[in-house]
Structure formats: C-alpha cells, structure tokens
Homo-oligomer: A and B are copies of this chain.
Amino acid sequence: MTVSNQTVQAVDTEIERLEESMIQFLSTLVEKRTVTGNERAGQEVMANKFESLGAAVDRWEPNPERLRGHSGYFETSTFEEVGYGGRPNVGARLDGVGEGNSLGLSGHIDVVSVTEREWDSDPWTLVRDDDRLIGRGSCDMKGGIAAYVTAVEALQAANVDLEGDLVLQSTIEEEAGGVGGVLSALERGYRPDAAVIPEPLDIPHIGTASAGVMYFRITVPGRTAHAGRAYAGVNALDKAVLLLQSLNDLDETRKGRIDYPRAYRADRRLEGHVTNLNIGVIDGGEWPSTVPGEVTLEGRIGWPPGETREQVRKEIRRTISNVATRDEWLAEHPPELSWFGWQAEPHEVPLDSRIARVSKTAAEDVTGNEGQFVGGHAGMDERFYKNYYDINAVSVGPYGENLHGPNEHTTVTSLTDTAKTLARIIMYYCGVASD
C-alpha cells in the first residue's frame, strides 16, 4: 500500500467535487426502471458512462447454451419468463500502466419490482431528503454503481496512473440468481485477480461470504373425491401438513446445529437464524366441494458456508422420505421434489486475503469506524468469482435501508464514503505508478 497521503487526499477532493454529479448519475439510473428482465435502458446508460471513461465497451447477451454445462448454472426465473434476448451485460477494461494486480468492479443493474402504493414517493424518481436518497435501487445497488463510477472518474481527474488493469462491468439478473450476469461475464473472460461488488453491506463492514440459496417445489399427491364421499379420497392437504411440520422441525434442528458468526456480526438479530427454511407458497385443490387431489409447496432454503448444495438437498430429501415412509398413502404415492430457480452455493473469502484486508483498511480509514467481516446470510454474485474461478470477491458498499421494500434508501454521506473507499481499494490493490 505504497500510495501517498497526498494522492489519497487529491482523489478524495475530486470525489467531493463530483458528489452532485454522482447523485445525478444515480438519479438517471433509478429512472430507468430496470426490473430484472428489463435491464436494457439502464445498460445503455452504463455503456455510455464506460465510454466516457475512455474504455472500449463490450455489450453481450448471455448465451444459455454455453452456460448450461457450467456447475454454477441454473435456469433463472427471469430466463424462463423472458429469455436473455435484449438483456445485454456491459463490460469494459481500463488498462493499467504496469504489471499490478487487476481488479474487477462489478454491479448489477437490475432491481426488484415495486408496490407503488406502499411508497411515500415515486419509486422511479430519486428523491433527496436531507442526507437521504430514496428510490428503487438507490442502495441495491445503483448507489454502489454510481460510487464506483465516481471513484474511477476521480482517479482519472486526479491523474492517478494505476499499475494494474480495471475491469468495469454492469450485469443483469442478480436478483434472479446472476447466472446470465456475473457468471456470463466470467465465462466471457473477465477474470481479474480480485473483485469488489459495491452491494449495500454498509462500510466499514466488508462482505466476505454469501449464503447458499435454493428454491424447491414439493408436489403432494392425493386422490380427489366429492366432499360428501371424502372417505373415498385422500386429502392431499392433510398430507402436505405432515410435510410442513417435518420441514419446520428440520428448520429448527438446523438452526440449533448451524452457526456462522460472520452472518450476524453486524446485526445481532440474525443470531440463531443463519440458516432458514421457508415454505413461501402453497397451492392446492380445485373447488370447495372436492377433496384436494394435489397440493404444491414452494420453498426456499438458505444457509451459510459449510454445506454443499448436495448435502442440503439430501437433508431435505431425507426429511420428505421419512414422512412418506411413515404414511401409508405417501409410501405408495411419494411426494415429488424438484429444484427450480435459485440454486446458489455459499462462498467464503479468506479473511487474510489481500482484497479483504485492503478493503477493510480502506473502509475504516474513510469512515473512521471499526469494520467487521460480515456476510453469509444472502445469496450473492460474489460466489461465482470464488467458487468457480478462485477469485476473491468482496462486497464493499453503502448503507441501505428497505432493500426490496418500499422507500428503499441510502445516504449521500454513505455513497461518498463508498466512492472514497473504492478509490483507495483500487489504488492499494492495483498499485499507483506515479507514487
């Protein structure tokens, strides 16, 4: 970390000067309504921005045929719904002047949908209220994107020559699993020595892990009959309740067994909840007067580093088959289990890795507070870097509230601090020629 205080100070000054322009850029991104599956308008803005930084811009749509064989691949819900046509990723490379480490700066342009009536303001217009910046994507994660763009602009304005290359990218469908986004970028060859994704984990906390997340569907069979002759049928709902109870028991058992302090270091409410099994959707039966002949359960299991996807799948399979063997009907007509949507394995970055240490130091310097290594509670794009390419990727981003909810917001202070932190990480990690 041989970067002079003078250089750091010059870059900070540029970032402060660029603050309004950063907010304006975030405002433009928020207006683009890039709900997952509909990313194009936002990606045009990003491509123009990368060009203005002097980079040759690469736009590409994910190729599902090429990705399908990858062990990180799964069919995302948005791919199933709308495919990958018209949904480009955008990448750019800024060459360094020397042989320093290359660093990736990656952000997802997609946001989750909104329920407009729950918002106090138009979710697609960035509203500034004192220090707060309110709007869909303000923290998750267009704010982080604006911050990393501003960091690069400031480095250029301060005439900082980096030794290593920067890989800038704006990707799609993180909210649906990121397969067509970060995984596609890695497969296209964007493989820096390390990567930073400015997800809103609230610097000085540094995200160094992500959770496994899988969706599953259980189809519980019964046999229809008229309600007046229910004895001739088999009530699939009663059978589904048996499964629900055993899955709830499994969740309790796992919660007692599995601990992962990183997941709750920054939020003690999460202690005891580092793994979770949720049945989120139930649907069954056709008519009040008919014994339900089929009930479908859709659930999600999340867990911290420590188990593979196959280990977790096996535990759920075993839970279901234990219920089935104890029930006469289900023993003959076993429930069907399938896995769909999110099939993400957890990842973990070594705490003594260079990118983790550099990030924490930078964030603590900028904020003046002590940070924690956090993470392991949400599924994240970072896993693709680590699990399949052995590239350490950390999350370094702003404060955020109401992610995925109404009145999502971040703060100007936090975005500016994030930009300063990212600029330092870039300089420390890639090296600076002029110093």
| Given known contacts A226-B404, A228-B378, A238-B248, A292 and B269 CB-to-CB distance under 8 angstroms | no
0/1 string, A278-322, CB within 8 A of B gives 1: 111111111111111001001110100000000000000000000
- Determine whether the beta carbon of A283 is less than 8 Å from that of B280: no
List of B residues within 8 angstroms of A237 by Cβ: 244, 279, 282
- Interface size grouping (class) on chain A: 35 or more
Copies in the complex: 2
Contact of A374 with B by CB under 8 A: no
| Given known contacts A241-B244, A248-B238, A227 and B289 CB-to-CB distance under 8 angstroms | no
| Given known contacts A226-B404, A270-B229, A377-B228, A287 and B291 CB-to-CB distance under 8 angstroms | no
- What's the Cα separation between A284 and B287 when bound, in Å? 15
A360 CB to closest chain B CB, in angstroms? 24
0/1 string, A225-269, CB within 8 A of B gives 1: 011111110010110010011001000000000000000000001
- Determine whether the beta carbon of B289 is less than 8 Å from that of A278: yes
- What's the Cα separation between A325 and B215 when bound, in Å? 34
List of B residues within 8 angstroms of A216 by Cβ: 288
- Determine whether the beta carbon of A282 is less than 8 Å from that of B279: no
* Residue ID in chain B nearest A283 by CB atoms: B283
- Determine whether the beta carbon of B276 is less than 8 Å from that of A280: no
Cβ 8 A contact of A299, one of B211, B270, B288, B377: B288
| Given known contacts A215-B289, A276-B227, A281 and B284 CB-to-CB distance under 8 angstroms | yes
Contact of A136 with B by CB under 8 A: no
- Can you list 8 pairs linking A and B with CB atoms under 8 Å apart? A227-B300, A227-B302, A237-B279, A237-B282, A238-B248, A241-B245, A281-B286, A288-B299
Residues on A lying within 8 angstroms of B by beta carbon are 211, 213, 215-216, 226-232, 235, 237-238, 241, 244-245, 248, 269-270, 273, 276, 278-292, 295, 298-300, 302, 341-342, 377-378, 404
